[in-house]
Structure 1
Amino acid sequence: MERRRLGSSPVEVTTLAFGGAAIGGLYAPVSDAEAMAAVRRAQERGIGYFDTAPHYGTGRSERLLGAALTGEYVLSTKVGRLLVPLEPGETPESQGFADPPPYKRVWDWSADGIRRSLEESLKRLGADHVDILYLHDPDDHEEEVYATAYPALAALREEGVVRAIGAGMNQTAMLTRFVERLDLDVVLCAGRYTLLDRSAEEDLLPACLRRGTSVVIGGAYNSGLLAGGTTYNYEPAPPELLDRVAGLERVCAEHGVPLRAAALRFALRHPAVASVLVGCRSAAEVDDNTTLFETDIPEALWEAL
């Protein structure tokens, strides 16, 4: 599988990457055996970049990835949320994840919090390092990023503890400000550069090209709508979007290409994009997504879309 370098860092990632939210139990429970089989199948199919976060199943995704991964791979996790054991009488908040462990998520963007988060992630992963460290969802914490979180991240890179740093969000405006104001190797943008939503073209992608910052795209299916589902941005899709998807499906069918294959490959046509993340909860889903990703897509289809 093709590899692309992240910015000016030494890190090279495969163009298809494994997103770890699904094996953390996003929306539905996943057994440990199923999750670990998915990770191992991903490595067998040539996927060499794996992304996770403490938020995904309150540590479950990190634990399962660490138990399943073997050999050589690129690994990223995220900081901004610490996992704290529940007090007596407290119940875990699922935040979309099934069967949550007995922990709560606590925001912490301090320098000490960033380092503690990484240390705790490494213990769950059973690893001595991660390659990429992202600030995770700092939507309501922009000033804390400038004051403490980014300096802590930059120090970890300078010390050689991590090889690349970035930020991961579902919006482009703040990511664009980070790219313009900070020295980031990569940003992870979910859902904003897809066949249905190309808003990242307006601000984030041009800024990344100017600054030499790479982009990893998540949410290529827009939370399911481009994969045969009826949800968009985690909510029921409005009728006009359902109509648009039907039109996209017709165009793809005329060229003999599944819509999902086009959805997975679309973002990689932009020169700033290094990789596309896809969440898989079973070995069968890994096979399905990698086969779609490897589909030959004629240039005429892109022009028609």
Structure 2
Amino acid sequence: MTGTPHPTEEFPRRPLGATGLSVTPVCIGGGPLGSMPDLFGYDVSADRGTETAVAAFTGPFNFLDTAAGYSDGDSEERIGAAVKRIGGVPEGFVLATKVDRDFGTGDFSGEQVRRSAQGSLHRLGLDRLPLVYLHDPENISFEEGMAPGGPVEALLALQREGVIGHLGVAGGPVELMARYLRTGLFSALITHNRWTLVDQSAGDLLDEAISLGVGVVNGAPFGGGILAKGTATFTKYAYRQADDEVLRRIRAMEEACAAHDVPLAAAALQFSTRDPRITSTIVGVSRPERIAETARLATWDIPEELWETLAPLAAPKEFWRW
């Protein structure tokens, strides 16, 4: 399903590994669109979620990421409503989603993966999913993920059937993500909260992904919000209370950025977008105006001197998520 052309002149597209897909350096994250107050601390109405999705489809970026499990499908529902409103996914736009376990029972079988993918097709109003990630496989063992009848086998079958275009894996623990990449079955990776100004535990994973020809998408460049909102109003990193040492270092980053008249959020976003290993960086948004704000942060002029100051302020390795 395609609609009107998508304006991407401001942000040149980059190849996403060997998928053949080309995406802008910023990907709009659909997590907040469905309203997850327990995670993000605020509600998002259905109308606002849909309006924000419309702004994503008609803005300067050509990449939108969601998941079947975000708000029990509400994120996909609102994105699907936006797709219907604008007459289809714009030509050249990449809409990615993720298959999830059953959050009630923990079931992550192949049958559950098929149910998850079919639900996504229905909610998004699509007949094919161009890019689908295995989402949070850390909730089962690697052996269970790869077993006959398991989620990876089901994803491969859906790909052979033409339901899915390209397969990716999206999760947290860096060594587990590397194990999945080494199977050679995945062409895209999402790592989150592990390649930021604060936590750089995914460094080796990024290198390995590139060596395998896997396209890298980096999620949560703001560490769940603290590197955008600042320590005066937010003290969690990756959705849990940050250690005092981590907070001390972020405050030093805030001071350094202020001295150069650079928003901390701009530095946090561009720390990711300037890394040549990273194809696109996911920024979750919950209001239409955030799309333009994100574009401004992505293009803010940041002097090299500030990067030199920020580099040693990353948290020590013992505070990283790994």
Root mean square deviation, CA, Å? 1.8
Superposition deviation, residue 192 in structure 1: 0.2
Deviates more, 1:46-55 or 1:147-156: 147-156
Counterpart for residue 163 of structure 1: 165
Q: Residues 170-192 of structure 1: CA distance to partner in whole angstroms, max 9, x if unpaired?
A: 22121011112232111111100
Counterpart for residue 58 of structure 2: 44
Query: Structure 1 residue 20 and structure 2 residue 30: aligned?
Result: yes
**Contact 2:128 2:162 (8 Å CA) reproduced:** no
Superposition deviation, residue 9 in structure 1: 1.0
Question: What amino acid does structure 1 have at the position aligned with 2:157?
Answer: A
The 1:106–1:275 alpha-carbon spacing in structure 2 relative to 1, beyond 3 Å, is farther
Superposition deviation, residue 275 in structure 1: 0.7
Superposition deviation, residue 274 in structure 1: 0.9
Q: Residues 99-121 of structure 1: CA distance to partner in whole angstroms, max 9, x if unpaired?
A: xxxxx644343333222211111
Q: Residues 158-178 of structure 1: CA distance to partner in whole angstroms, max 9, x if unpaired?
A: 443322111111221210111
Superposition deviation, residue 230 in structure 1: 1.6
The 1:267–1:118 alpha-carbon spacing in structure 2 relative to 1, beyond 3 Å, is same
Q: Residues 33-82 of structure 1: CA distance to partner in whole angstroms, max 9, x if unpaired?
A: 21112112223331211111121110100000111134232111111324
Q: Secondary structure at the match of 1:131?
A: strand
Superposition deviation, residue 156 in structure 1: 2.8
Normalising by structure 2, report the TM-score: 0.82
Counterpart for residue 8 of structure 1: 18
Q: Secondary structure at the match of 1:81?
A: coil
Question: What amino acid does structure 1 have at the position aligned with 2:278?
Answer: V
Partners of 1:300 and 1:105 in 2: CA distance: 50
Partners of 1:235 and 1:114 in 2: CA distance: 29
Q: Secondary structure at the match of 2:202?
A: helix
Q: Secondary structure at the match of 1:68?
A: helix
Q: Secondary structure at the match of 1:199?
A: coil
Counterpart for residue 254 of structure 1: 259
Partners of 1:158 and 1:9 in 2: CA distance: 15
Normalising by structure 1, report the TM-score: 0.87
Superposition deviation, residue 152 in structure 1: 2.3
Superposition deviation, residue 266 in structure 1: 0.9
Partners of 1:106 and 1:126 in 2: CA distance: 27
Query: Of the candidates 296, 301, 305, which is equivalent to residue 301 of structure 2?
Result: 296
Superposition deviation, residue 290 in structure 1: 2.1
Q: Secondary structure at the match of 2:97?
A: strand
Partners of 2:82 and 2:105 in 1: CA distance: 27
Structure 1, unpaired ranges of 5+: 83-103
Superposition deviation, residue 145 in structure 1: 1.5
Question: What amino acid does structure 2 have at the position aligned with 1:220?
Answer: P
Partners of 1:109 and 1:237 in 2: CA distance: 31
What is the number of residues matched between the two proteins?
283
Partners of 1:301 and 1:53 in 2: CA distance: 35
